[in-house]
């Protein structure tokens, strides 16, 4: 994908938010995607939700091992 095209569609903050949450989209079920979308925000509430979801994903991973 052309990096300039991506940069014109998304702000740097949106790209960072997607980068940090991508593993959550992969590891958690689709019914958690709305919460993950909110966790993309680089805000205190987005950070808090991101950490909660990351813990949830880690717990699911360890229980499936």
pLDDT digits (tens, 9 = 90+) for 35-47: 999 999 999 999 9
* Residue 20 vs residues 10, 64, 65: alpha-carbon distances, Å: 15, 22, 23
Q: Residue 1: is its pLDDT beyond 60?
A: no
List, for residues 3-61, the tens digit of each pLDDT value. 666 667 889 999 999 999 999 999 999 999 999 999 999 999 999 999 999 999 999 88
Q: What letter would DSSP give residue 28?
A: S
pLDDT of the residue at 2: 64
Domain hosting residue 17, numbered range: 3-64
Average pLDDT for the chain: 91
Tally of domains in the chain: 1
Q: 4-11: which pairs have CB atoms within 8 A and are 24 or more residues apart?
A: none
Spatial CA neighbour of 38 closest among 55, 21, 15:
21
Residues contacting residue 24 through CB under 8 Å, at least 6 positions apart: 32, 36, 39, 50, 53, 54, 57
């Amino acid at each position: 994908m052309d990096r300039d095209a991506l940069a014109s569609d998304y702000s740097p903050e949106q790209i960072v938010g997607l980068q940090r949450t991508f593993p959550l989209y992969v590891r958690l079920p689709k019914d958690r995607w709305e919460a993950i979308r909110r966790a993309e925000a680089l805000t205190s509430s987005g950070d808090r939700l991101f950490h909660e979801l990351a813990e949830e994903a880690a717990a699911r991973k360890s229980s499936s091992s």
